[in-house]
Structure 1
Amino acid sequence: MTQACPSGATLAEAEEFLNAHPEIEAIDIVLHDSNGIGRGKIIRRHELASLYKSGRHMPISILGLDICGEDVHETGLIWDQGDGDLRAWPIPGTLKALHNTKPARAEVFMSLYELDGRPMTSDPRHALQRQVDAFAARGLKPAGAFELEFFLLANERDAFGKAQPARDVLDGRMSRKTEVYSVDHLHGMLPLFSDIYAGAEKAGIKAETMISEYAPGQYELTLHYREDVMQAADDLMRLKRIVRQQARAHGVTACFMAKPVEDYAGSGMHFHVSLQDETGRNVFAEEPGAGWTDTLLHAMGGLRQTMGESMLVFAPHLNSWRRFANQSYAPVNTAWGVNNRSVALRVPEGEIKARRIEHRPAGVDANPYLVGATVLAGILHGIENRIDPGPETTGNAYDAEEATHIPRDWREAIQAATASEFLKEALGAEMHRTFTAVKAAEYARVARTVSDVDFDLYLHTI
């Protein structure tokens, strides 16, 4: 007997896609691990129907890997379970043709399930779905969008081994200046940007404004607000793949490190989020002339209270922590404010009906499924416990004494996250164990590595 697809995908979707795209020869099947790395296989066209009918067996260890693809035994997902196979199933609506590929290819996102069809709870998608379901049980639906900041870098380092901005793909010019908001500067990358937009359109993503950001070679691409935060996370994951693929096709490197250049701003992944009730009304929106709603304030209270123990989700790598510095446009404490880019939680200016929280701590290197799950859990914690966010910060939040400070570094963040009961509930016990075990293993790897910095500082001086 054929097992019903637990994700809700149907064979009809695959058949309609193949009929509409006779040019497609192969399909990337992509499952995202705790680091947000796409892992999976490339299948041939004739295999797609069986993927939708029967799923695809994949080893459970695929979700227990570190950033280098090495097994992390402490996750309990390797030999504790004999590295057996579970079944990955396609996610409805994620089968999309890819732009500018030869031969023509497509991709589909996958999620991992137990053999009996239960969600495999170390899969980041399931962590986010748990929180979406928690709001649905209360008659609420989270909506949102992630911002994508990234660098376009030359494929080669400079004479000092440092990353350098890519030359314009149009005419080969290079600028080492901070071309923030320069429209003319964007023109040199227009052929690449056009391919990014074409890829996004094929994928059904409403990619919108392109901005030259606050560092040489840094850009920001905004995404259309979604009424479904899972779709918002999918958009971000897919758009990163599109940017990376198209940059490579144009001979440059798309960089999603949080801080690739030490003297300039890093790249964030700000998460804009609001809540809708069953009528579609934004429950964060105040009445005209009234003050902030209790719902909005309590949501920020919950986010402030849980931010410190959650920072590992928002800054998951050693490099992530280089982004947090005074006057850097990255938050260094839990302050909240209105129309203020120095705070961690910003209420943007705009129409009342679009009232939302801009959550600013996450770097672009974070996993949006885990970021979404953690932020939603913090909001729910604040609403249900009616947590006061404290006074609004006006002016420079980098000098705000009343704002609670976040962990100082990666090691402290790993310790806080590992001990956090809130984060265990937010991600689910298995996802929490997997994620924190992977981070601890990566910390150990970095700590034992002798780097160029060691030689620069100590070789000829001690």
Structure 2
Amino acid sequence: MPAPNGALPEEAEAFLAAHPEIEAIDIVLHDANGIGRGKIIRRHELMGIYTGGRHFPISILGLDIVGEDVHETGLIWDQGDGDLRAWPVPGSLKALHGTQPARGEVLMSMYHLDGSEMRSDPRHALARQVAAMAAEGLSPAGAFELEFFLLDPDTAQGVRPAAAVLDGRRSDWTEVYSVDHLHGMEPLFSDIYRAAEAMGIRAETVISEYAPGQYELTLDYRKDVMQAADDLVRLKRIVRLQARRHGVVACFMAKPVEKYAGSGMHFHVSLCDASGRNIFAEAQEGTWNDPLRHALGGLRATMAESMLVFAPHGNSWRRFVGQSYAPVSPNWGVNNRSVALRIPVSPLAARRIEHRPAGVDANPYLVAATVLAGIRHGLKNRIDPGPETTGNGYADESAEAAAIPRDWREAIAAAQGSAFLRDALGADMHRTFTAIKAAELDRVARWIADVDYALYLHTV
């Protein structure tokens, strides 16, 4: 049967002809947690993926963070764990850099056997919001920022920054914006850039960030938000693989070290009309227009019930600390890194919103889908964003700030009861995602952590 998403066998034929050295291909489907799951196929199997898809069990989209079935998703025994059909995402077949033997990678998306979308696939959730925008005459563009830690693989002395791969030099200082410090990781970053280029990902600036061992990679602004999300998930995989090849660990936890800043996944987004004009660009600089204000209003109004998407794990909530560059209330401001919704300094034509709540552990497809839905909500209902926050956004003590969930448990409850989030993600994706999060909360609640022994073993 022809691929329901338009994937063509000619793409595979051209790839195989251009890469006679490639022996195998990773076929990768991303689940609710953004984890790439799939198979490694041999070269001779690739054409069959494009002409007939590949059967995957439906349960692959109902797994928790450690790969265990979550029965409450309804995707396991309720449906007999039957097979569905995954199809390659058009244009996503690429060569991997530095693998021995040589391998390729292709992204996959899940469909029912009759060719209809399997709506617990996060890519379909984002595609629905992009399509809804298109029906309203709008086209979203955007880019994600990727913050992460490079850590020593030897944890016998605790979690600590990785030594420089160039010469083994070690620093336990923050080293924020230090160019000389970046030189120590230059061989690793060179491989990351080469691998990104092989995948058509325009990775740009690298920064030594605001914690020992923390770095940031920025990505080129994409006119296609789906492409921006694809770039992010693939870049994470590239960084993790190349770090392993250089003997260090790439960590994408939101808050791996207690006393230092966590890692965000800021999402920059703008909207263009049918003529290609950025509708957020004001006529006179600094006089914010209604579309921008209403988009901010919608994002503020829906942020509390959406926080589980932006902070999906227990560790995610450790990132939200005052004076940490992670937002703690749904405020907005201009050129201000203490707020949740920032309007960066930019030329008028590049006017955009920087959405800052999401941690790097979030699923970019779900983040983008939720942000677009929030913007649509604001535009449709002409929601006023309230006054701009100036100065220290961490001093916000408004009722709106207090309404944000205080922890993971509250965020799960807010998401479960949210009609907005159900519509933003689609009913199937909403059910799947919230069921997985509730199951993970139960797993963590049962876990007897080291802190229990430290506090209570000899005292109670």
TM-score with structure 2 setting the length:
0.99
Q: Aligned partners of 1:216 and 1:387: how far apart in 2?
A: 41
Native 8 Å contact 2:328 2:401 kept in 1: no
Q: Aligned partners of 1:429 and 1:398: how far apart in 2?
A: 35
Q: Aligned partners of 1:336 and 1:262: how far apart in 2?
A: 27
Q: Secondary structure at the match of 1:325?
A: coil
Give the drift of 1:288. Answer: 2.7
Q: Match for residue 303 of structure 1?
A: 299
Q: Aligned partners of 1:234 and 1:188: how far apart in 2?
A: 29
1:246 equivalent in alignment to 2:242: yes
Q: Secondary structure at the match of 2:25?
A: strand
Q: 5+ residue gaps in structure 1? A: none
Aligned Cα root-mean-square deviation (Å) = 0.7
1:343 equivalent in alignment to 2:339: yes
Q: Aligned partners of 1:117 and 1:289: how far apart in 2?
A: 48
Q: Letter of the aligned partner of 2:105 in structure 1?
A: E
For residues 147-193 of structure 1, the C-alpha deviation after alignment (integer angstroms, 9 at most, x for no partner) is: 0000000001143xx21000000000110000000000000000000
Give the drift of 1:379. Answer: 0.2
Q: Alignment partner for residue 103 of structure 1, among 69, 82, 101?
A: 101
Native 8 Å contact 1:374 1:423 kept in 2: yes
Q: Aligned partners of 2:248 and 2:449: how far apart in 1?
A: 26
Q: Aligned partners of 2:155 and 2:295: how far apart in 1?
A: 44
Q: Match for residue 380 of structure 2?
A: 384
1:5 equivalent in alignment to 2:32: no
Q: Aligned partners of 2:259 and 2:439: how far apart in 1?
A: 29
Alignment of 1:263-412 (within 5 A): 263-289=259-285, 291-402=287-398, 403-405=400-402, 406-412=404-410
Native 8 Å contact 2:84 2:110 kept in 1: yes
1:194 equivalent in alignment to 2:218: no
Q: Secondary structure at the match of 2:276?
A: coil
Q: Letter of the aligned partner of 2:106 in structure 1?
A: V
Q: Secondary structure at the match of 1:404?
A: helix
Q: Aligned partners of 2:285 and 2:118: how far apart in 1?
A: 47
Q: Match for residue 133 of structure 1?
A: 131
Q: How many equivalent pairs are there?
A: 458
Q: Aligned partners of 1:259 and 1:404: how far apart in 2?
A: 22
Q: Match for residue 143 of structure 1?
A: 141
Q: Match for residue 36 of structure 1?
A: 34
Q: Secondary structure at the match of 1:275?
A: strand
Q: Secondary structure at the match of 2:26?
A: strand
Q: 5+ residue gaps in structure 2? A: none
Q: Letter of the aligned partner of 2:7 in structure 1?
A: A
Native 8 Å contact 2:143 2:228 kept in 1: yes
Native 8 Å contact 1:143 1:228 kept in 2: yes
Q: Letter of the aligned partner of 1:436 in structure 2?
A: T
Q: Aligned partners of 1:328 and 1:156: how far apart in 2?
A: 27
For residues 220-279 of structure 1, the C-alpha deviation after alignment (integer angstroms, 9 at most, x for no partner) is: 000000000000000000000000000000000000000000000000000000001111
Q: Match for residue 155 of structure 1?
A: 153
Q: Match for residue 233 of structure 1?
A: 229
TM-score with structure 1 setting the length:
0.98
For residues 264-311 of structure 1, the C-alpha deviation after alignment (integer angstroms, 9 at most, x for no partner) is: 000000000000111111000011346111000000000000000000
Q: Letter of the aligned partner of 2:401 in structure 1?
A: T
Q: Aligned partners of 2:352 and 2:53: how far apart in 1?
A: 38
Q: Aligned partners of 1:384 and 1:158: how far apart in 2?
A: 54
Native 8 Å contact 1:158 1:164 kept in 2: no
Q: Secondary structure at the match of 1:186?
A: helix
Q: Letter of the aligned partner of 1:9 in structure 2?
A: A
The percent of aligned pairs where both chains have the same amino acid is 75
Q: Aligned partners of 1:167 and 1:457: how far apart in 2?
A: 33
Q: Match for residue 430 of structure 1?
A: 428
